[in-house]
């Protein structure tokens, strides 16, 4: 045995004396009872199980040579012992039993406790032990550290003093090294498993189907959502080549190889005999040299993607029936009828003059139906150039015409899938597109411009017009069959002149809303003036009334030259008025009056009118007003 550098024995003996250890002590100051030992073994189960095969090997090396192996925790509590029966009997007679603490503070200098204190492998033999009961033993002990470098226990070989040999310590140190390596492997595997579970949990929590594939098309991995979306389990999808699933796989792989982005691309997937359009984004998986090895594909339901886009872009119905202003019998009956037809799958045709609130009713119908959470897409057939309306309605595929977007573009019918499409000014739709619209209504499918795929849709159609479509049919401007397809549930909106009792309510509503928007005070309307507002025919209906209220709030004056009778206002002289003036004429007359009052002073006039000098100059030029 190497006798050099034995100063640690003296230091340990000094500590033992300071702890009050009695050299005649027969057993440890601390020994666990059976229940406490059972709990301790459960607590240290990982150390015990990891060490067990190495302690077995260690024992096999010294079997029959009166040695036994001892495993302790970081406090020196004996957890496990293995050895020949004779030597174990001797150890039990000398306080070396499971549950006994071998730390220096409990049993003085010894191979286990002192190795833990010193933090290194060491031997304690014969009288180097502090208590006399151990003087007949030789102990070779080494501390066991976890992957963080913290001491979590010790391993010790104890035998008769006559068998002391320096190589014994080397054997123990090698066994401890093997145990520590195994603890590292276990910790690494635990981290790998945790990392795998962590990644899988993240992947499975994302509401999108995700899979990875190499460039040969071999599918490597898929998350749980893929089964929900495609109907394939992970095992089933792995048996397929990705080309069997995605039609555009080769073009996607080509773009990824070239370093191009593939984001939010609409593609078709094969689901047995069926096919379905999905939205896909592709991301490269690079090796340490930056070379693409695999591709991660993220699939989302096209309908859900579009619903989200509609929420962001505002393709939602806002109006509800309770927001429609009016207490007249005619408007109440109209609202009641509209509510009754709200949940019907049939097409609604809203008829009414301009400004009667056709879109407000269309949105209210949507919000009163089971489709209230779905998209509401409005398109004005008269406001879109004829050469663009087809692509707006039905969409197009990539390369179908000059200027077509990469990846194509869905039409309004696809975007409205599950919800409602509102076709305003349907009477302005070109005849050739009327044929396509009829086919969509009859078959429930759309085909993009330049494409061959038939895309099934579930859309409720609400159309609106201020034209007499029967006359348009007679004149050859509107298809007869389309008219009858649209006119299943006609809804006629009354003009404002037929619901005059609602005018004060509408004026009050617009006065509050517009004054708040413009941050201007409300204008009080005298009773006499209100009578003339009620007598006026309002050819522009509610829209004209709203514009009129905005005019008087902006100018802070009530236009006098608007009606067919003479009235007095605020003590002013009687003003001669004209019948059925347009708002433009009212504005022109009012500007002329203010200019006359200020004797042509532009600054004063613009201040009274509540407009800028530039705006007033523009109006003077527009209305050809002579300023003297």
Q: What is the pLDDT of residue 311?
A: 53
Last residue of a domain, one of 472, 494, 516: 494
pLDDT tens-digit map of 395-445: 888 777 777 777 778 888 988 888 999 999 999 998 889 999 999 999 888
The contacts of residue 543 (CB under 8 Å, 6+ apart) are: 354, 355
DSSP alpha helices (H): ranges in 444-479?
469-474
Do 182 and 222 lie in one domain? The reply is no
**Residue 104 located in a structural domain:** yes
**Residues 99, 464: Cα–Cα separation, whole Å:** 89
**Residue 367 located in a structural domain:** yes
Do 485 and 534 lie in one domain? The reply is no
Q: What is the pLDDT of residue 306?
A: 60
Do 146 and 29 lie in one domain? The reply is yes
**Residues 3, 87: Cα–Cα separation, whole Å:** 26
| CATH code, 226 | 3.30.450.20
Q: What is the pLDDT of residue 574?
A: 32
Q: What is the pLDDT of residue 472?
A: 93
**Residues 251, 408: Cα–Cα separation, whole Å:** 14
pLDDT tens-digit map of 311-364: 545 467 889 999 999 999 999 999 999 999 999 989 999 999 989 999 999 999
Among candidates 442, 435, 375, 360, which has minimal Cα distance to 411?
Answer: 375
Do 463 and 540 lie in one domain? The reply is no
Q: What is the pLDDT of residue 107?
A: 94
Q: What is the pLDDT of residue 566?
A: 35
Q: Does 74 or 159 have the greater pLDDT score?
A: 74
pLDDT tens-digit map of 6-62: 899 999 999 999 999 999 998 899 999 999 999 999 999 999 999 999 999 988 888
Do 261 and 392 lie in one domain? The reply is no
Query: What share of residues in the chain are helix, strand, coil (percent, to 5)?
Result: 45, 20, 35
Q: Which two tokens stand for residue 221?
A: 């991995």
**Residue 541 located in a structural domain:** yes
Do 115 and 214 lie in one domain? The reply is no
Region 487-500: what's the mean pLDDT?
95
Which residue range is the domain that position 364 belongs to? 314-494
- The rounded mean pLDDT for the chain is 86
Do 157 and 82 lie in one domain? The reply is yes
Do 277 and 401 lie in one domain? The reply is no
| The total number of residues written for the chain in this structure | 628
**Residue 194 located in a structural domain:** no
**Residue 198 located in a structural domain:** no
Q: What is the pLDDT of residue 267?
A: 79
**Residues 61, 64: Cα–Cα separation, whole Å:** 9
- Block residue for tokens 């739709």: 429
**Residues 53, 30: Cα–Cα separation, whole Å:** 28
Cα→Cα distances 376→303, 313, 364, 617, Å: 13, 11, 11, 42
Do 22 and 167 lie in one domain? The reply is yes
Structural domain count, the chain: 4
Last residue of a domain, one of 281, 302, 323: 302
Q: Does 373 or 492 have the greater pLDDT score?
A: 492
End-to-end CA gap in the chain? 126
Q: Which two tokens stand for residue 28?
A: 């440890």
**Residue 597 located in a structural domain:** yes
Do 210 and 151 lie in one domain? The reply is no
Last residue of a domain, one of 479, 494, 509: 494
Region 282-292: what's the mean pLDDT?
89
| CATH code, 157 | 3.30.450.40
| CATH code, 584 | 1.10.8.60
Do 394 and 461 lie in one domain? The reply is yes
Q: Are 279 and 264 in contact (CB under 8 A)?
A: yes
Do 386 and 469 lie in one domain? The reply is yes
Burial class (CB in 10 A: 0-12, 13-18, 19+), 340: exposed
Q: What is the pLDDT of residue 225?
A: 85
Q: What is the pLDDT of residue 308?
A: 55
Q: Which two tokens stand for residue 103?
A: 């730390």
């Amino acid at each position: 045995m190497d006798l050099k550098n034995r100063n640690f024995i003296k230091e340990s003996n000094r500590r033992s004396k300071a702890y009050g250890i009695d050299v005649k002590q027969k057993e440890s100051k601390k020994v666990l009872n059976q229940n406490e030992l059972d709990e301790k073994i459960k607590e240290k189960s990982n150390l015990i199980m990891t060490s067990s095969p190495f302690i077995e090997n260690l024992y096999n090396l010294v079997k029959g040579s009166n040695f036994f192996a001892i495993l302790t925790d970081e406090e020196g509590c004996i957890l496990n012992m293995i050895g020949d029966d004779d030597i174990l009997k001797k150890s039990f007679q000398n306080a070396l039993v499971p549950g006994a603490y071998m730390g220096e503070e409990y049993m003085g200098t010894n191979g286990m406790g002192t190795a833990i204190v010193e933090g290194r492998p060491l031997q304690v033999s014969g009288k180097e032990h502090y208590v006399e009961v151990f003087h007949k033993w030789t102990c070779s002990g080494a501390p066991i550290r976890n992957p963080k470098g913290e001491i979590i226990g010790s391993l010790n070989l104890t035998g008769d003093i006559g068998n002391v040999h320096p190589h014994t310590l080397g054997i123990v140190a090698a066994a401890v090294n093997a145990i520590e390596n195994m603890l590292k492997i276990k910790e690494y595997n635990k981290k790998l498993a945790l990392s795998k579970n962590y990644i899988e949990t993240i992947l499975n929590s994302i509401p999108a189907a995700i899979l990875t594939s190499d460039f040969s098309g071999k599918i490597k991995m898929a998350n749980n959502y893929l089964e929900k979306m495609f109907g394939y389990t992970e095992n089933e999808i792995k048996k397929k080549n990705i080309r069997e699933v995605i039609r555009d796989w080769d073009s996607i792989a080509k773009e990824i190889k070239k370093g191009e982005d593939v984001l939010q691309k609409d593609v078709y997937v094969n689901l047995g005999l069926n096919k379905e359009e999905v939205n896909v984004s592709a991301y490269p998986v690079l090796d340490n040299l930056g070379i693409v090895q695999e591709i991660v594909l993220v699939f989302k339901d096209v309908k859900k993607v579009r619903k989200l886009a509609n929420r962001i872009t505002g393709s939602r119905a806002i109006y509800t029936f309770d927001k429609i202003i009016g207490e007249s019998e005619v408007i109440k009956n109209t609202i009641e009828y509209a509510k009754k037809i709200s949940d019907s799958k049939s097409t609604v045709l809203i008829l009414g003059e301009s400004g009667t609130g056709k879109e407000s009713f269309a949105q209210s119908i949507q919000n009163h139906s089971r489709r209230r959470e779905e998209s509401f897409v409005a398109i004005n057939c008269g406001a879109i150039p004829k050469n663009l309306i087809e692509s707006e309605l039905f969409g197009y595929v990539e390369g179908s015409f000059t200027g077509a977007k990469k990846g194509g573009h869905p039409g309004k019918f696809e975007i409205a899938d599950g919800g409602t499409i509102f076709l305003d000014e349907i009477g302005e739709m070109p005849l050739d597109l009327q044929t396509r619209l009829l086919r969509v209504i009859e078959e429930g499918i759309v085909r993009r411009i330049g494409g061959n795929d038939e895309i099934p849709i579930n859309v409720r159609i609400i159309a609106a017009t201020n034209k007499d479509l029967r006359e348009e049919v007679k004149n050859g401007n509107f298809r007869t069959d389309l008219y009858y397809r649209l006119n299943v549930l006609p809804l006629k909106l009354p003009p404002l002149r037929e619901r005059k009792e609602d005018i004060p309510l509408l004026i009050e509503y617009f006065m509050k809303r517009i004054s708040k928007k413009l941050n201007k005070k409300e204008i009080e309307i005298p009773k006499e003036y209100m009578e003339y507002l009620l007598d006026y025919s309002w050819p522009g209906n509610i829209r004209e009334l709203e514009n009129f209220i905005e005019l008087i709030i902006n100018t802070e004056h009530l236009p006098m030259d608007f009606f067919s009778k003479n009235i007095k206002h605020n003590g002013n002289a009687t003003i001669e008025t004209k019948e059925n003036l347009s708002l433009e004429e009212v504005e022109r007359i009012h500007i002329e009056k203010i200019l006359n009052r200020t004797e042509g002073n532009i600054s004063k006039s613009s201040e009274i009118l509540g407009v800028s000098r530039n705006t007033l100059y523009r109006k003077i030029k527009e209305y050809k007003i002579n300023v003297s």
